[in-house]
Amino acid sequence: MEDNTKPKKKMGKWYFLIIVILAYLSIYFFLPDKMMPILNFYIKLILQILPIFLLVYAIMVLTNYFVNNKVLQKYMGEEAGIKGWAISIITGILSMGPVYMWYPLMKDLKNKGIKDRFLVAFLYNRGIKLQWAPMLILYFGWAFSLTLLIVMAIFSVPQGIITEKLIGAKGNLNN
């Protein structure tokens, strides 16, 4: 018996797109005064997201051009040690923008040999927002703020190790 669920799923995406387009067209024709705020919001949203898309795309291009698999595997592969953790923690802290914008880059890096533990540490440290540190210090003081940031950075390491072990255990069960 054949499994025809994949073509239906692909068609479902197209149906959704067509329904959304028809909804917007109906708003345009029946309520044109309501359409301009929608278009203005859409344009503002695209203009806000576009620089982040371009930044991530530029990083991906530069990574593909300058960084080969051997370099990645050396610093963030199976044999990577403290350097891999340091790179993951620092880049996670310095990364900005919505996390979903980083997913394509992270998938690309994973395909090139970066271990899951370092990707988890990167994601965990995205919770540290240096741009909000002055506000954090203002409300909670230096001692609390510094302790929180250090603990978050340190605990990204066990989070990465635990997650990688869980992923490995799941992978072993499926084989």
pLDDT tens digits for range 145-170: 999 999 999 999 999 999 999 988 66
Determine the structural domain holding residue 92 and report its residue range: 71-174
**Interval 103-161: pLDDT, tens:** 888 888 888 888 889 999 999 998 888 778 888 888 898 899 999 999 999 999 999 99
Burial of residue 28, with CB atoms counted within 10 A of its CB: 0-12 exposed, 13-18 middle, 19 or more buried = middle
Structural domain contains residue 140: yes
Question: Is 153 a domain residue?
Answer: yes
Q: Has this prediction a pTM greater than 0.75?
A: no
The CA distance from 99 to 68, in Å, is 24
36, part of any domain: no
The answer to whether position 90 is within a domain reads: yes
Closest CA to 156 of 110, 107, 122: 122
Query: For the chain, what is the domain count?
Result: 1
Residues whose CB falls within 8 Å of the CB of residue 124, separated by 6 or more in sequence, listed in order: 92, 152, 155, 156, 159, 160
On whether residue 17 sits in a domain, the answer given is: no
pLDDT, tens only, 45-73: 888 888 877 887 787 777 667 766 676 66
